[in-house]
Amino acid sequence: MHGFYRVAAAVPETRVADIGFNLARIKELVREADRASAALVVFPELSITSYTCADLFQQTRLIRRALSAVAELADFAKKMDIAIVVGAPLLHKSRLYNCAFVIQKGEIRGIVPKTYNPNYREFYEKRWFTSGKKFKNESVRVGKAEIPFGRNLVFECDDNFKFAVEICEDLWNVIPPSSYHAISGATVIANLSASNELVAKSDYRRDLVKQQSARCIAGYVYSSAGVGESTTDLVYSGHSMIAENGIMLAENGRFQRKGEILFADIDCERLAYTRFSSSSFSDNELPEKYTFIRMGKPAEPDPIFREIDAHPFVPSNPARRDERCHEIFNIQATGLAKRLEHTNSAKAVIGISGGLDSTLALLVSMEAMKLLGRKNKDIVAITMPGFGTTGRTYRNAVALCRISGTELREIDIKAACKDHFKEIKHNPKVHDVTYENVQARERTQILMDIANKEKGIVVGTGDLSEIALGWSTYNADHMSMYAVNCGVPKTLIRYLIGWVAENSGTELRKILHDIIDTPVSPELLPHNGDGKIVQKTEDIIGPYEVHDFFLYHTVKYGASPEKILYLADIAFKGKYKKSRLSDIQKIFIRRFFSQQFKRSCIPDGPKVGTISLSPRGDWRMPSDASAESFK
């Protein structure tokens, strides 16, 4: 469903060298994985025989029975769509190989030998097994069939879901085979392993899996031998993991006595997009002599077994909240400090409204002054009451500047706007876009002129969400000398201000929390009789949290509107109906395309996360591109 495929890492209960018992347990887990609509199930290294058979691997009876068990497993699964990867020894040209057998629809579709056999300390695989490094594009006869045999096999299930195999120690090597598999098109890597347990080894193993999945921009399914292995000198825990592009999707609890299976849904479509949109990935030279084996199309999961983050821009790990917020502030403040220093600016000039964006810009400006060893008095904060300014935002703006120790100036723009209405012959009773934009441009003119007068620069307050939607007045709040919030979406701004509030004194904390709770509004339309805000942005265009979700998946992963809506329905289940999400998406698509002309000439500003809409680097889109194909 929309490029998602369910994969499984299975750790069967095993007995050393008891092939009949091991096969029966493997069948049970295959059946369970198939019932769960898994497309791929991966078993541990040498799981048919068990890994710790030692010199029993030199017994022809064990080798022959293992191959017969693989054939029996294939026959068992002939009516299933699932691809099975299971470990067993293979005798070929008088040499024994530690192999992964790939099975689907009753057939052995390919056999992958282990490339790197460890031969140190507790591991002596070279005593029994030969490296399969030299085999790239060969075949072996199993029964009456000629089976592709080699380390360079890619199994193609569809255009996006293609998997390849490496075995245990292969991952520990300087250049794991999976690196070449990924360059050749495999979006999922299966690793059949038998990694023993030592103190803290699981941490290292986990890091390897995560990092290799990130390096390969791939899904990584890791299944390791369990507690049924021999404990003569070592203990095995059955560690299983499923990662995707550096993120651990699922991990089991180790040391389970009975067989278990771990599931996760990998977004193969996202992986494929991330690869072709990453120039460094395509710069890799394609390896030679790869064989591509066309597999049957497996089942697609519906619903998906995957949590979809409703707020993808917001740091998801609470334990690292301080670290992440400090980092974001440092990026913003360092950028502004450099601009102030380079332009030899005496002042940073900010329009302060009592809203989210100008509050964050003020906090960042204060941090920049600290980096430069300057006082907050070098920040000129200007509040400019207009026809829609309410007492709540005005009081918060004034109180915030007072506590912060900035220079506060108040310039009422109503009289100047009325004069301008006369000059352009606009009826002030007509509260249209002209009525609103006259105020926005009057404020920006004031800021620019004061910045000239004070030998300073105007610090822009507009955020990434507004830039995406074009929710700004051209040549008004659209313009500044440095836009500190241009890489920060609205959901993250709330989060950052909340973090500052929690680390502030009582008075400032109270003000910041009230700013967070204030409805987002440009306050350009007259308020009602009781002084409350009447022009609420999210009532007009929809919740920013939903727009930020659409923005993230559109720009970062190039997902189709249908897929994004599918994901949004999961992420916001119980909060917004799908029909409501669809309506908001239509607004997002229309505005994202129609307002590109504003993004084509936005000021400089720091990129904070992986998404930016700067026309100079991250987002280069024609201003007159049509949205028709995206509706």
What is residue 238's three-state secondary structure?
coil
Count of all residues that appear for the chain in the document: 631
Q: Is residue 114 among the annotated active site residues? A: yes
Percent helix, strand, coil in the chain, to 5, is 40, 20, 40
| Residue 586 in tokens | 């239509």
Which of 101, 96, 132 lies closest to 114, judged by CA? 132
Of 45, 138, 169, 260, the active-site residue reads 45
Taking the C-alpha atoms of residue 520 and residue 191, their distance in angstroms, rounded to an integer, is: 50
Q: Which of 109, 89, 91, 85 is nearest to 99 (CA)?
A: 89
Q: Rg of the Cα trace of the chain?
A: 31
Q: Which residues contact 399 (CB under 8 A, 6 or more apart)?
A: 507, 511
Say how far apart CA 97 and CA 66 lie, in whole Å.
Answer: 12
Q: CA-based angle 528:531:533, to the nearest 5? A: 70
Count of alpha carbons within 13 angstroms of residue 154, beta-carbon side:
24
Q: DSSP secondary structure string, 89-100?
A: EEEETTEEEEEE
Q: Which residue do the tokens 């609890």 mark? A: 253
Q: Which of 316, 305, 302, 360 is nearest to 336 (CA)?
A: 360
From the list 99, 157, 168, 417, the catalytic residue is 168
Q: Could you give the CA distance from residue 312 to residue 37 in angstroms, rounded to a whole number?
A: 27
Indicate the helix (H) or strand (E) that contains 249: strand 247-251
What is the SS3 assignment for 349? Answer: strand
Verify whether residue 244 is a known catalytic residue. no
Distance CA 586, CA 570 (A): 18
For this structure, is 486 an active site residue?
A: no
Q: What long-range pairs does 430-435 form, CB within 8 A, spacing at least 24?
A: 431/525, 431/526, 435/524, 435/525
In sequence order, the 6+-apart residues with CB closer than 8 A to the CB of 517 are none
Taking residue 143's Cβ as centre, other Cβ atoms within 10 Å add up to 11
Q: Could you tell me if 301 and 37 are in contact, meaning their C-beta atoms sit under 8 angstroms apart? A: yes
Q: From the candidates 13, 53, 99, 114, which is the catalytic residue? A: 114
**In this structure, which amino acid lies at residue 191?**
N
Amino acid at 396: N
Rounded to 10 deg, the angle between the 544-557 and 578-594 helix axes is 60
The one-character DSSP state at 518 is S
Q: How far apart are the C-alpha atoms of 366 and 369, rounded to whole Å? A: 5
Closest alpha carbon to 19 in 43, 55, 56, 47: 47
Closest of 83, 89, 9 to residue 43, by C-alpha: 9
Residues recognised as catalytic = 45, 114, 168
